[in-house]
Amino acid sequence: MSADGFRIVGMQPTPPKAHKKNRLRGKPVISAALLFLIVFGCMFAELLMTKDPTYMDLAHSRLPPDGEFLFGADTMGRDLFSMIWYGGRISLAIGFLSMAISAVIAVVVGTASGLAPKAADAALMRLTEILLSIPNLLLVILLQAILGKANVLSLSVVIGVTSWLSIAKVVRTEVQTLRGSEFILASRAMGGGFVHVLRRHLAPNFFPSIMFMMVMNVRSAMIAESTLSFMGLGLPVNVITWGSMLSLAQNALISGAWWMILIPGLFLITTLVCITNLGNYLRKSLNKGQRNL
């Protein structure tokens, strides 16, 4: 302590660093891990299948789970364990193929509307809003009835061409925000066409905004396929998907074969919940990035 009342001190010790926040907090780690395991199992179903999923053994019809049939057997004596992995591959394929189709249509229509003159833009948006007012399931049923008997490709196309509307509106809004940017004007002045401007300048800027909706479209497509199959309007029973497996639920309820409903339902619900959690995480990350800007 000095004479004037001040104490002379040396270098103060550095306070201990606060513990870093858990980097995994808020991230859907469990959902991502479960979804990876399910997708991996479906992709490499041959490594997991214990029997031929298409083989009908009527001697074991409605057999409950045991050592030989791990998940039991359905009304036709098919092994549910093998069917889960084999059929999940087709269900996931329909989901991702439908998402790709809807994303391509939405990007093209939304970009064209955003770059078009006011009259053409208004016409495209009015058409989009009219289609949005119609329940999506009704559109799917109508188009599938026009195409005839359902198969994996036709069902994916039908679901894809009816699920692009919301994404197109978001793309159009983003394009209208970017269309006056200097790099867009310079590219068009140098002769850049629609495809060039979309691929090189517009898509990299609006793609993060629609990524969440694209992920959720995978979920919606899988729900649509399961709903149609449950109603008897989707894929035939001999085409194994999680939806076609659930289409036998009515007979399973009557006969008390709970495993025919519970096990495919659990796999479907788990996959949908994991996709939903990943989509919500993408949405929150995008909103956080926009707030930081």
CATH number at residue 169: 1.10.3720.10
Q: How far apart are CA 216 and CA 170, in angstroms?
A: 14
> CA–CA distance from 39 to each of 42, 88, 209, 219, 270 (Å)?
5, 8, 25, 14, 12
Task: Give the closest residue to 222 by CA, choosing from 60, 38, 80.
Answer: 38
Residue 30 in any domain: the answer is no
Q: Structural domain of residue 218, as residue ranges?
A: 94-292
Residue 288 in any domain: the answer is yes
* 10-residue averages of pLDDT along the chain (293 residues): 55 52 70 92 88 85 86 87 91 92 92 88 89 86 83 90 90 86 81 80 81 87 84 79 78 79 89 88 70 46
Residue 245 in any domain: the answer is yes
Q: How far apart are CA 172 and CA 235, in angstroms?
A: 34
Residue 251 in any domain: the answer is yes
At residue 201, the pLDDT reads 79
Residue 82 in any domain: the answer is no
* Three-class secondary structure of residue 23 per DSSP: coil
Residue 230 in any domain: the answer is yes
| Domains in the chain, number | 1
Residue 187 in any domain: the answer is yes
* Three-class secondary structure of residue 161 per DSSP: coil
Distance in angstroms between the alpha carbons of the first and the last residue of the chain: 50
Phi, psi (degrees; rounded to nearest 5) at 177: -70, -35
* Three-class secondary structure of residue 73 per DSSP: strand
pLDDT in tens, 116-159: 888 988 998 888 888 888 888 888 888 888 887 888 888 999 99
At residue 20, the pLDDT reads 46
**Residue whose pair of structure tokens reads 């989901």 in the numeric block:** 95
Question: Residue 167's CB: how many other CB atoms inside 10 A?
Answer: 24
Residue 18 in any domain: the answer is no
Q: How far apart are CA 83 and CA 54, in angstroms?
A: 8
